[in-house]
Amino acid sequence: MDGSIDDKSEDSPSSSGSSQPQNLSTVVHTITAVPTAIPNQPVEEDGEGHLVRTDTDIGIEKRREILSRRPSYRKILNELSSAEAPGIAKIEEDKEEEAAITSIQTTIPSYVQTSAGQTIQIAAANQNELTTQGLQTITMTNAGQGAVTAAAMPAGTTIVQYTQGDGSQQFVTVPAGEVQAYQIRAPSSLPAGVVMATPTGITSPQQLAEESARKRELRLMKNRYKNREAARECRRRKKEYVKCLETRVAVLEQQNKTLIEELKSLKELYCHKAETE
DNA sequence: GTCTGAACCCGTCAGGTGCT
DNA sequence: AGCACCTGACGGGTTCAGAC
């Protein structure tokens, strides 16, 4: 790993526990390299309550063993439901779920990268409504702006404006001169709603390097988004799986009770019969 | 009112798995 | 081999109940 991106403060405003859509017009540009914990290594307490990683291979092997034995929740649950009693729901991508996923996809933010390596998030209420046709640029003169805005934006800052399908307008700002250097396009390789801005007329190696770094960052961003969704799904399935197991336990306990009762009554019947004979 | 620990949720990363 | 997907682990945030 070349250092992870600590984007919790801005890239993930919803990390507070509520999974709301990310705020409109959020500027996403904090990319801080921090040492990441290496997961999947055994952990020990250091005596002060702090967790310290150790290098014992036992933990790794154990985990491998567990991993190699454990199929996905989807598989487990589906097997359970096919082999077991009714009432245990199969995990499948029903239409409701698909609809939900679609709605998530259509509300994801869009990103435009600047040449400074910053990523500006364009939050579109519906990605289908984010069209290049709706894009306009306004170059600020820095005169007569409101106090806060003027202070935050240097002269010549360009505002990218786009109009959404519902008529509402969104603005993002880009440092002077950068917008002119970009073509806004939506490549098919990006997730829905992610707009990539590519500089035109790149010639120098430095620009190429910058561009490849930008592409890498966009790819990572795309992966993170996908993985975020995947993690949500995984947790949902896990919950469902646990619920299913709980239901199964309850059913089996009830069966057990019934069988014990049956055994009791049969025993009594047998004893009674033996006495009379 | 403040502290604290537990429970829960979320995003991210790494590594495994299955498919092409 | 490369890719997409899945899931465990981790760290951080929030909420809430109980102790002081």
CA A238-A224-A50 angle, to 5 degrees, is 70
Contact flag, residue A56 CB and nucleic strand C, below 7 A? no
Q: Which comes out higher in pLDDT, residue A34 or A199?
A: A199
Contact flag, residue A62 CB and nucleic strand B, below 7 A? no
Strand nucleotide closest to residue A232 (CA to C1'): B10
At residue A207, the pLDDT reads: 81
Helix (H, G, I), strand (E, B) or coil at A197: strand
Distance in angstroms: CA A17, C1' B10: 6
Nucleotides of B under 7 A from a protein CB: 8-18
Q: How far apart are CA A45 and CA A220, in angstroms?
A: 33
What percent of chain A stands above pLDDT 70? 27
Over range A220-230, report the average pLDDT: 85
Rounded alpha-carbon distances, angstroms, from residue A84 to A4, A136, A248? 44, 59, 9
Other CB atoms within 10 Å distance of the CB of residue A158 = 19
CA closest to B16 C1', residue:
A67
Q: Which comes out higher in pLDDT, residue A82 or A130?
A: A82
Query: What's the longest Cα–Cα distance across chain A?
Result: 112
Contact flag, residue A52 CB and nucleic strand C, below 7 A? no
Within residues 200-229 of protein chain A, the ones with CB less than 7 A from nucleic strand C are: 226-227
Q: What's the mean per-residue pLDDT of chain A?
A: 50
Contact flag, residue A206 CB and nucleic strand B, below 7 A? no
Contact flag, residue A225 CB and nucleic strand B, below 7 A? yes
Q: Which of A108, A78, A71 is nearest to A93 (CA)?
A: A78
Over range A23-29, report the average pLDDT: 30
Distance in angstroms: CA A63, C1' C1: 26
Overall pTM surpassing 0.85 (yes/no)? no
What percent of chain A stands above pLDDT 90? 7
Contact flag, residue A103 CB and nucleic strand C, below 7 A? no
Helix (H, G, I), strand (E, B) or coil at A124: coil
- Given a cut of 70, whether residue A81 has pLDDT beyond it is no
At residue A209, the pLDDT reads: 77
Q: How far apart are CA A251 and CA A29, in angstroms?
A: 53
